[in-house]
Amino acid sequence: MGFKPHHCSRAANSFELQPNGNENRICYTPADSIQYTGHTANTTVARFAPSGYYVASGDASGVVRVWDCVGEELITKGEFPIINGRINDIAWDSESKRIISVGDGKERYGHCMTWDTGNSIGEISGHSNVVNTVSIKPTRPYRAATGGDDNSIVFYHGPPFKFNTAQRGQHTNFVQGLAFSPDGNHLVSVASDWKVFLWDGKTGEPVSEIKDSEKGHKGGVYGVSWNADAKRFATASADRTVKIWDLEAQKVLKSWSFGDTGSVLDQQTGVVWPNRSDGLLICISNSGDLNYLDERADTPVKVVAGHQKSITGLGVEPSGKTIWTGSYEGRVCSWDLASGTAEVPESQSHTNQVTNFAASEGRMYSIAMDDTLRTIDTNVKDFTGSIIGTDGQPRGVTYADDKFAVFVVTLAEIAVFRDGNKVTSTPIKDYTPTSIAYSSSTNILAIGAENNSIYTYQLSKSDDSIPASPSSILKSSRASISTLSFAPNSALLAAGDSSGKIVLYDASTGEVKTTRWAFHTGRIKSISWNKAGTHIASGSLDTNVIIYSAENYAKNVKALGAHKEGCNGVEWVNDSTIVSAGADGCVKVWEVVAP
């Protein structure tokens, strides 16, 4: 089972939303989502076929892949190199037989083809710059329209689709969105010039500019979608609004506004009006949030949040009901495991990559590359207290439940924090730290280092002081230590390194218990023990998650390809469930049969 939020487009560009043509749904409960991983370059657009059985998706390398979206296997039906550049948009015809793909090519800006064989059924011509959007008239006789950075709209007759007319002069900036009405009588175009134009769907001739001097857009318009009645359509804009327009009156009927003035993350980059029984519209913010809109309400009735960048930190609350994730750009989300939905704290988050989390009852502690330690009140799901600056970039964080304190290791020191204040610290002089772990049962603090060594400090039960020198140095690893984890109520210490190997130590004696956990082929990013201390879960840059037995070192269970581009975090939720997060922006929950 995986939780996957909708992916965000590049900033300041249109983002095309489209419902499943068969079921008239665009997005689902996040826990019911699927993930297609066939592309080898960043995906840029995906479109359901009207039949609802297939999806055509494009990527930054100019490849379009058509795949079966029914069932769990997501079988690729075809892979087609369209242009030698980014695919910006894709359109299906109403028979689910033909596809037009457009984008930023060097030799051509798009291509028309049959989806099953890739045979050419026309050509895209008439543009002198990048093509951003394409739409195919859903009724016969078929027509197609494209719009681009040359401020023009080109109309085609077909199939085979051939150039008919080019309309220039109406829009004065990049054309960002096009949509034929469901009855085929009209076409609406939107652009970065704030304008909305209406065109004859059959002839391609301009009809009028649709404008509302009082309620119209005050920023670039990035998306447009028709209602099934062909009498109303919705637009999404960089002015942070989504508006419903009446075709006949050419006036705004309803408007929603998001966020505060000037908020780039709240710019609306796409909208879809699926033919749902509840009549909801769905728009996407520049933050990647999906907002469900009801015409009878002034605010979204539902928001689906998530990450749009690589998830770099993962933590689980002691109750196992909520997990916390942080991503490359500093965004933090809390996820309810029962529903699979995420919430974003209202307070200001980190301003750089979130490195890790540490959990305690009622609190979650996060560190990031903005050189701060933050405290989260898990009861209200928001940051609390002041922002604590660290002396140097933090490399690891752990919570000592016997001391009610937070240990943070930075490039400069090992520091102890309690109630938002630094209690004590010890400078680091002889090594470069990478990670930290603490055993409350033995009072051993372990610091991993880039020199392949682990430095252990025997702490006192009566005070918070950290010795100036380590009590021992563990040197059995052959690569830089990347992550550490103590077994619960034990001195057993699992140490992962940059080569993909895990060494199990008894930190109290320095004895090496095993070096046989060597099935990863990339840097170990995360290790977590189950509560019984009998198994570990590990996540690696090699994309895999592996469960190892601490009772029989030869036994293991592998989840290969768990996260495309690498797994950055893994945690046990209970004895039969683990959660993982990775560079693909996904959080996945796994049912585990321990080896």
For the chain, first and last CA: distance in Å? Answer: 20
Spans of all domains in the chain: 2-7+15-304, 355-591
pTM of the model: 0.91
Cα–Cα nearest to 199, from 234, 163, 170: 170
For domain 355-591, give the fold.
Answer: Methylamine Dehydrogenase; Chain H (2.130.10)
What was the pLDDT predicted at 33?
A: 82
What was the pLDDT predicted at 18?
A: 54
What was the pLDDT predicted at 3?
A: 33
Q: CB-side exposure of 409: number of CA atoms within 13 Å?
A: 24
Is CATH 2.130.10.10 the right assignment for the domain spanning 2-7+15-304? yes
What was the pLDDT predicted at 594?
A: 84
E strand spans, 212-285: 221-226, 232-237, 241-246, 251-257, 268-272, 281-285
| Residue numbers of the chain with a pLDDT score lower than 50 | 1-14, 24-28
What was the pLDDT predicted at 20?
A: 56
2-7+15-304 matches 355-591 in fold: yes
pLDDT, one tens digit per residue, over 8-31 is 333 334 455 555 555 544 444 566
What was the pLDDT predicted at 32?
A: 76
Q: CB-side exposure of 263: number of CA atoms within 13 Å?
A: 14
What was the pLDDT predicted at 17?
A: 52
What was the pLDDT predicted at 508?
A: 97
Q: CB-side exposure of 557: number of CA atoms within 13 Å?
A: 13
Long-range residue pairs from 305-309, CB within 8 A, at least 24 positions apart, any chain: 305/5, 305/333, 305/341, 305/342, 305/343, 305/344, 306/3, 306/4, 306/5, 306/6, 306/30, 306/333, 306/342, 306/585, 307/5, 307/331, 307/333, 307/585, 308/5, 308/7, 308/8, 308/585, 309/585
